Structure 1
Amino acid sequence: MATCEPDSKAAATTSPIKISPKTYSLPLLENPHQGLAPPTQDGETVCIRGYFSYFHYGCDGHQDVGWGCGYRTLQSAISWIIGRRGSSADGSQEAQWFVPSIREIQAILVAIGDKDQQFEGSCDWIGTLEEFYVMDVLYQLPCRILHVRQLGSPEVVDQIRSYFNEFQGFIAMGGVNGDSASKAIVGWHRSEAGKVFLLVVDPHFAEPPACQQKLIDRGYVRWVPIEDFLDSSYNLCLILQP
């Protein structure tokens, strides 16, 4: 496992792209994990604090099935950041912040020089490093990137546990094949017997979600035993938002 605090690609302190307010034909579900009980009745559970909206394939009318999961995980992460900052201790409301569309995300990456002009409007996917660049441009927010070869190694499990204990935040995860494609980790659980689970929110849902229970029943929001993750390389983006 390698850990790094990535250098910013953003030369400016504000986004080079204006993020417009959004309306959605179908409302987005918030905190889709809240209807899900811990995987065992004993042990320790630490989950995300605050709220986030569940972005998934096609949720805003943009058809991105097969390539847009990284964008959707990023949009969910940004909704959480906005929620945390909007409920800051001084009571200020950051109403000027909106979740960027896929096209706006692409435009940001082009504007900062990470992608060439042909990327905007394309069906090219993004990974956790690009997700960090966009969050840094919009919010100047530090993140920790973990390059992981064995997600279930004791060192990685301890880092994830420490992160949730300190930040109760949002982890964007991406891998190198379809089974390890982009997802969010929003909770950690260890049973008294020492079995570890991660709470996964999967953006690969491609229908209008009627309710949280539908997502849970179909496995798009679920507790995953740590040993069920593939022996594959993963990049984890731990968002250091207090």
Structure 2
Amino acid sequence: MGDKPPGFRDSQNWIGCVEASLCLAYFGGPQGRLYHVPRGAGIRGELERLYSHFSGGGGPVMVGGDADAQSKALLGVCVGPGTEAYVLVLDPHYWGTPKSPSDLQAAGRVGWREISTAFDPNSFYNLCLTSHNSEKQQHGLD
């Protein structure tokens, strides 16, 4: 695509959400809409955007950070009556065919996590919200 030096090709180097978004556009995949969250503590302020994304039919949200180098994919959000808030996290490194969804849960590959434990409050995060048709998708905080 021309955004990396020649030595990047065929390397084992990782890409982040920005590069993943570029790849989606370049290869004609789902559209990726990027949002930067300066500190993980600010994820709470993005819950309305995430809820709107998922309730509007949006796809997985790729997440990458700096101090928190554990990449993750978000598949849903759940906000409780008080200050409780959870995200459904999928480990994007999993591959293969699971025997059952409960096997994925038991292995820690997918599950609901409270946002305070899913995100490092001192790490920045890039969120790439995927959608097949971004014009139909509504975002409450745009």
Normalised by the length of structure 1, the TM-score is 0.48
CA distance in 1, matches of 2:66, 2:120: 11
What is aligned with 1:233? 124
* Residues 1:158 and 2:48 are matched in the alignment: yes
Q: Is the CA contact 2:21–2:33 (under 8 Å) kept in the aligned structure 1?
A: no
Greater percentage in strand = 2
Larger Rg, first or second structure (1 or 2): 1
Amino acid at match of 1:216: Q
DSSP 3-state at the match of 1:123: coil
CA distance in 2, matches of 1:238, 1:129: 11
DSSP 3-state at the match of 1:139: coil
Q: Is the CA contact 1:190–1:196 (under 8 Å) kept in the aligned structure 2?
A: yes
> CA, structure 1 residues 140+121, in 2 after alignment: closer, same or farther (shift >3 Å)?
closer
Deviates more, 1:144-153 or 1:128-137: 144-153
Runs of 5+ consecutive residues of structure 2 not aligned to the other structure: 134-142
CA distance in 2, matches of 1:239, 1:206: 20
Q: Is the CA contact 1:146–1:235 (under 8 Å) kept in the aligned structure 2?
A: yes
DSSP 3-state at the match of 2:3: coil
Normalised by the length of structure 2, the TM-score is 0.78
CA distance in 1, matches of 2:25, 2:95: 28
Runs of 5+ consecutive residues of structure 1 not aligned to the other structure: 1-111
RMSD: 2.3
Which residue, out of 83, 105, 118, partners 1:216?
105
* Residues 1:193 and 2:112 are matched in the alignment: no
CA shift for structure 1 position 181: 2.1
DSSP 3-state at the match of 1:238: strand
* Residues 1:170 and 2:99 are matched in the alignment: no
Aligned residues: 130
If asked which structure has higher relative contact order (CA below 8 Å, sep 6+), I would say 2
Provide the identity percentage.
32
CA shift for structure 1 position 209: 4.1
Q: Is the CA contact 1:147–1:233 (under 8 Å) kept in the aligned structure 2?
A: yes
Amino acid at match of 2:58: Q
Q: Is the CA contact 1:151–1:234 (under 8 Å) kept in the aligned structure 2?
A: no
